[in-house]
Amino acid sequence: MSKDKKSKAPKQAIGVDIGGTGIKAALVDVRSGELLSDRIKLPTPDGGEPEAIAQVVVELVGRLDDERTTPVGVTFPAIVRHGRTLSAANVSKRWIDFEAEAFFEQHLGRPIHFVNDADAAGIAEDHWGAAKDVDGLVILTTLGTGIGGALIYKGVLVPNAELGHLELDGHDAESRASNRARESEGLSYEEWATRLQRYYAHLEFIFSPDLFVVGGGVSKSSDKFLPLLDLKTPIVPATLRNNAGIMGAAALAVGL
């Protein structure tokens, strides 16, 4: 980008992070990653249907920018290819093969940048968080309802790495190793760590990364399970926590 274009580039953007249980948004300073507003959150409507989710997104964006001038980035927990959602692991099946970006643009009345949730979180951790100073291959995984994955090589995102859907011991990995699996099966952290060990050792063998970053709400308790893992690759908790998706979406909205 030329110096002139850079000075005209927007300095703020709105990030919206759509998850299985909540939809969060904030205004972000895209030069520093700092949140310029409170993080606002509304529950994800039951069933996760497109119209109901769009209404919530319109409400949140309207609260942050009623003039409709600020760039907007939106994350979604599915494969996103050229604005189209191609999967729906933990949301309504209506999102499969759905022109989601255009749909949100219609509802919001402005262009947006639409991206997979883990990819947005990976970009934010790479710019501003746990992977900031790491050169080489960074793999971010989010351990939540599902498992999200982001592959970032020297700052460049390889989109839609669906690392939660690798097969592990004959199962979809996220059905065994997500935080939801830990909670719903009542696993102790030690029991869960045995599954995480299998999972991360498998990822390590396939990709030989330089760093694993572990995100998702449970990463705030990472001292209970990360020290139990025995890997050659350093593995660290995400540092941006709940804000990573919002920050990454905002960054992508201005083309960072």
User: Which residues sit at the interface with ligand BGC, rule CB under 6 A?
Assistant: 77-79, 87, 89-90, 116-118, 142, 144, 146, 148, 162, 164, 174
Tokens of 244: 């990573």
Q: Is 115 left (phi over 0), alpha (psi -120 to 50) or beta?
A: beta
Residue with Cβ nearer ligand BGC (175 or 239): 175
How many CB atoms are located within 10 Å of the residue 5 CB?
Answer: 8
Residue with Cβ nearer ligand BGC (27 or 88): 88
Min dist CB 174 to ligand BGC, Å, is: 6
The residues, ordered by sequence, that sit 6+ positions from 227 with a Cβ below 8 Å of its Cβ are none
Min dist CB 78 to ligand BGC, Å, is: 5
C-alpha closest to that of 61 among 109, 128, 95, 29: 109
Residue with Cβ nearer ligand BGC (65 or 200): 200
Min dist CB 75 to ligand BGC, Å, is: 9
Q: What is the DSSP letter of 226?
A: G
Min dist CB 178 to ligand BGC, Å, is: 8
DSSP-based three-state secondary structure for 57: helix
| Phi, psi (degrees; rounded to nearest 5) at 123 | -60, -45
Min dist CB 19 to ligand BGC, Å, is: 7
Residue with Cβ nearer ligand BGC (115 or 253): 115
47 and 92 Cβ atoms separated by less than 8 Å? yes
> Which residue lies nearest ligand BGC, judged by its C-beta?
146
Residue with Cβ nearer ligand BGC (129 or 148): 148
